[in-house]
Amino acid sequence: MSERESKVEIVEADLALAEHQRAVVELLDAYSQDVMGNRRPLADDVRERLVPALREQGQATVLLAYDGVRPVGIAVCFGGFSTFAARPLLNLHDLAVMAEYRGRGIGKRLLEAVEQHARATGCCKVTLEVLEGNPARRLYDSLGYSAQTYDNDAGPALFLAKPL
């Protein structure tokens, strides 16, 4: 681990703490504005509802990366369930590192913390979706994430969505 990486601390967010609430909104707003996000800031009403809605989710886990007191990365996960394994799973919904902190291993450390949390809670797997052109795919590939094939004749699993 480089000296720049070692200064960064990964913590599980306590969404009752104002400091962590601000960090969540700040980091997700920055991610939303990124080319891999929505290319626009979070709407004001979303900024207001985000933390209370996360707190209401019984299956939400938020990990924050701090460089000193500055929040620089986030992983937002939600619990799910695998009927084929009859065990919980963890879906990594958002993974983001502030642009000026990318390339320092922070995303890798956040992913490792996600996996550690998943193992500690008995999950059978971690799932995620990623845009085809996202440079983070190299990181996911290096850590063993891939399109799952359960049957060669059926092909790999795809993540689909239908906006409502």
pLDDT tens-digit profile, the chain (164 residues): 555 555 899 999 999 999 999 999 999 999 999 999 999 999 999 999 999 999 999 899 999 999 999 999 999 999 999 999 999 999 999 999 999 999 999 999 999 999 999 999 999 999 999 988 999 999 999 999 998 888 889 988 888 888 89
* pLDDT at position 17: 98
> How far is it, in rounded angstroms, from Cα 99 to Cα 30?
9
> How far is it, in rounded angstroms, from Cα 131 to Cα 117?
24
Residue 57 forms part of a structural domain: yes
- Strand pairing report for 87-97 and 126-128: parallel
> How far is it, in rounded angstroms, from Cα 96 to Cα 23?
12
- Which residues does 129 contact at the CB level (< 8 Å), separation at least 6? 159
What is this structure's pTM?
Answer: 0.92
* pLDDT at position 84: 94
State the residue range of the domain holding 54: 3-131
Residue 145 forms part of a structural domain: no
> How far is it, in rounded angstroms, from Cα 158 to Cα 164?
19
Residue 142 forms part of a structural domain: no
Residue 17 forms part of a structural domain: yes
Question: Domain of 50: which CATH number?
Answer: 3.40.630.30
Residue 161 forms part of a structural domain: no
99 and 84 Cβ atoms separated by less than 8 Å: no
Burial track 126-147 (b if 16+ CB lie within 10 A, e otherwise): bbbebeeeeebeebbeeeebee
Residue 71 forms part of a structural domain: yes
The domain total for the chain is 1
Residue 155 forms part of a structural domain: no
9 and 20 Cβ atoms separated by less than 8 Å: no
- Report the amino acid identity of residue 147: A
122 and 129 Cβ atoms separated by less than 8 Å: no
Strand ranges for the chain from DSSP E? 8-12, 60-67, 70-82, 87-97, 126-128
Residue 157 forms part of a structural domain: no
* pLDDT at position 33: 97
